[in-house]
Chains A and B, each alone.
Chain A
Amino acid sequence: MSSETAGGTDGRNDAVLLLGVALGLYALFTVVSVLLGYDLNGIVNTLRRITFLSAIYAILVLALNLQWGYAGLFNIGVAGFMAVGVYTMAMLSTSPTSTFPGLGLPLPIGILGGVLAAALLGVIAALPALRLRGDYLAIVTLAFAEIIRRTYRSPVLEEFSIAGLDLGTGGSRGMSLPENPIRIIFYQTPGDPASDPSALGAAIFDFSSGLGVQPSVVVGWVYAIVLLVGVAGVYWLLMRVGFSPFGRVLKAIREDEVVARALGKDTRWFKIKTFALGCALMGFGGILWRLTGGYVATSMFEPIYTFYIFVALIIGGAGSNTGSVIGGAVFASLLFQGPNFVKRLVTEYVAVGSPPNTLFDAIGALGGLDVTPLVAYTLSDVNVAALRLVLLGVVLVYLIQNRPEGLLGHRKEVASPIDLGERDRQEGQS
């Protein structure tokens, strides 16, 4: 790869790369959907789901890339900051009449509040970050995320009131969220699931049902497109940050903090600001993730979700924003969704029968040269879920051993505004 792309300055090349990955994934999943015998509605819905998950992961990975890829801050409490964003938004904007009441404020205020709360917690978490080395910081942030999750889960906060205002997190039962804001475009009363479509909604649904695409898929696609705009916004923001003087100091901290300090930079402030901005974006990503679901529970913020985001970042290569987006998309569609589609494809074309009771029965059948029980056992729903996580672990180990710089190769943006590698080479030639 040429040094220009390594420097991340070749925007046109990156755009081609992103477009290529997107088209490749869409083509792949269209083929898979056709092979599975889906109708047009099914195909469109599959692509919607891929787009939705890829966009959410891209935003979260970009946020983590700011902290780890740029500033070298090893934060493995991502899920906790997502939880703060979502729960704060929920408590501000969920209607006061729902089972676990919120304040019923307008959604934009809720989203802003959630993002600010995540940023504030990022500042609090950054205080230890100033004095700890990498592995301690990892453990502290993980503990921080678990404190947050367990606090939201506590029965004490299930329903409570402050200053006469009734609030609640629903504890272990979770709480409902404000309705998907996209519904406002399509429905007369967006809060009511049985609402009649608005004039615009009716026109669009008429057209889509002519093609056999259901209204819920259309609404979902519009939401996914809004998310893609969100990804573009976050990408643009982080590119601006990354190539600003601020971003160069961050890269300098990552390479050698002592040097950055020797150059008169107060690295503590840079770290706090970076942590806060990254956590705010994580809270934002969490909110966008849950808004379509209409429901949030603490089990959605277990540490495993943080590791998903880490795997995605490592796939794309830490230190590169384009790599982060690609890593998010590749992770969400191939590693996260892929195993389920493989299972569906195999069961569609091979009659595997019902799975045996245990793995030992399945292996026992191998003695009679019969592999179908083993395949059936492997492809049962719980076992596909388990093996997906085994695969994730193996991929993580493989990448960190063999390609720690990510699938795309060295794309880490260098700390200096000009490419020093270029000068070295010229000097070598002369």
Chain B
Amino acid sequence: MTERESGNRALTAVRDRPLLVVFAAIVLVLTLDLLRRLLTGAVGTHDLATYLWNGAVLGLSIGLAGMGLAMTYSILSFANFAHGDLVTSGAVAGWIAAFLVAGWGDFAAEALVHLGGPFPLNTNTLGISVTSTPVAIVVGLVVAAVATAVLAVVVDRVVYKPMRDQSGISLLIASVGVALAIRYLLVFTFQAGRRGLTAGQQTPSFSVPIGGGTISVNAHQLTLVVVAALLMLGTHLVLRHTKLGTAMRAMADNENLARVTGIPTERVVLTTWLLGGALTGAAGYLIALERGTLTMDFGWLLLLLIFAAVILGGIGSVYGAMVGGIVIGVSSRLSLVWLPESFIVVAAFLVMIAMLLVRPSGLMGGVRTA
């Protein structure tokens, strides 16, 4: 290849994809600036490590919550705006179970069912943490997964099933209605207000020395990271190595073709909701564990970030959701190098919009439910 040919090719690339070139330039400038700041000491390695660790934890939360969304998005082809409220429902159901297991006999059942709420309930006396009450934590995780799977299937039967032949936008609008109904039924039943969940002081945490400072890593963050990795591996095995997984991928590619080849599409849809719902409930429960608090709208507030992750990874790609989550989490925390703290979420949304402009098919573009 001559020099002239390669020069021409670069020119063609600039002409065909001007946006891509612009964004690549922005990313390059930011990377160089970050290196400069690291070298001049304007940003310490310790600061950078903190951003990266916090970003990774946030990213894994988002990615975990995004796996269920990616599944239903690829099978049913609509953006489920009720997904955030499935996250909340899972967290509420799971934490009620965990509270009941941990506090049965010592506290009024009513207070435990409301997670405190209108009742005085000291979470430090209740003392829930991964190390001190492992049984309660595991029971809660299972209940969260089961309850959310059931809720997801019920919602599908009542709302989405009669609308199977309608457009993605109609389903999207219906899901907004579902989101409102679920969220405010939770508020009506358990009342609004922030709930403390874990015993802050009793949660073991480690200090990792890095670059002249320490990053604190606590047991609940580690739990989230480990369980997220396990769930992702499990999802991978199901999708890759079971008949169900093959059927799901076939449906995601072409639903009509899947049906004529004898795949029972309705049953696959049902299983997708069960699986996706369970993952979503578990995600909500773990996110609440890591944060140590819960509000009835935390899933809704997380929803746009989850969408950002799923779109970034390529709709329908379960790994993509995970990768997208980490990109969103890390880039939003890393934005603190340049931007004030109030712009963390803004930075994440900007990354998503930029991504949609440059590569609408996502990072793992073309890969679907695999």
Q: Which residues of A pack against B, CB within 8 Å?
A: 74, 127-128, 131-132, 134-136, 138-140, 142-144, 146-147, 150-151, 153-156, 307, 310, 314, 357-360, 382-383, 386-387, 389-390, 392-397, 400-401, 404
Contact = CB atoms under 8 A, between A and B. Distances in A.
B342 A153 contact: yes
Given A360-B113, A390-B180, A135 B342 contact: no
A128 B308 CA distance: 15
Give the top 6 A-B pairs by smallest Cβ distance, nearest first: A396-B177, A393-B180, A393-B181, A397-B177, A154-B342, A143-B349
B302 to A, nearest CB: 12
Given A143-B353, A146-B345, 8 more contacts: A138-B169, A154-B340, A359-B190, A386-B185, A389-B180, A389-B183, A393-B177, A397-B181
A179 B228 CA distance: 54
Interface residues of B, number: 50
B304 interface: yes
Contacts of A389: 180, 183-184
B191 interface: yes
B356 interface: yes
Given A135-B168, A358-B110, A393 B179 contact: yes
A143 B308 contact: yes
Given A139-B79, A146-B349, A386-B187, A397 B159 contact: yes
A135 B180 contact: no
A358 B114 contact: yes
B176 A390 contact: no
Most interface-central of B172, B177, B181 (chain A CB within 10 A): B177
A134 B353 CA distance: 14
A40 B343 CA distance: 50
Contacts of A314: 173
Given A358-B191, A396-B177, A128 B357 contact: yes
Contacts, number: 133
B174 interface: yes
A134 B357 contact: no
Interface of B: 78-79, 110, 113-114, 117-118, 159, 162-163, 166-170, 172-174, 176-185, 187-192, 304, 307-308, 311, 340, 342-343, 345-346, 349-350, 352-353, 356-357, 360
Nearest to A395: B177
Given A135-B78, A360-B113, A150 B311 contact: no
A400 B170 CA distance: 7
Contacts of A386: 184-185, 187-188, 192
B311 A397 contact: no
B173 A400 contact: yes
B304 A146 contact: yes
A147 B307 CA distance: 15
Nearest to A402: B162
Nearest to A127: B357
A392 B340 contact: no
A299 to B, nearest CB: 13
Contacts of A358: 110, 114, 117-118, 191
A155 B191 contact: no
Contacts of A404: 166, 170
A396 B176 contact: yes
A157 to B, nearest CB: 9
A153 to B, nearest CB: 7
B162 A392 contact: no
Contacts of B170: 400, 404
B357 A360 contact: no
Given A131-B357, A135-B169, A382 B180 contact: no
A396 B175 CA distance: 9
Nearest to B168: A135
A358 B113 CA distance: 11
7 contacts: A135-B172, A139-B79, A147-B349, A382-B191, A394-B181, A396-B176, A401-B163
Contacts of B190: 359
A407 B185 CA distance: 26
Contacts of A392: 177, 180
Contacts of A383: 188
B360 A136 contact: yes
Most interface-central of B159, B176, B189 (chain A CB within 10 A): B176
Contacts of A136: 311, 356, 360
Contact of A360 (B110, B169, B304, B343): B110
A314 B357 CA distance: 29
A310 B172 CA distance: 12
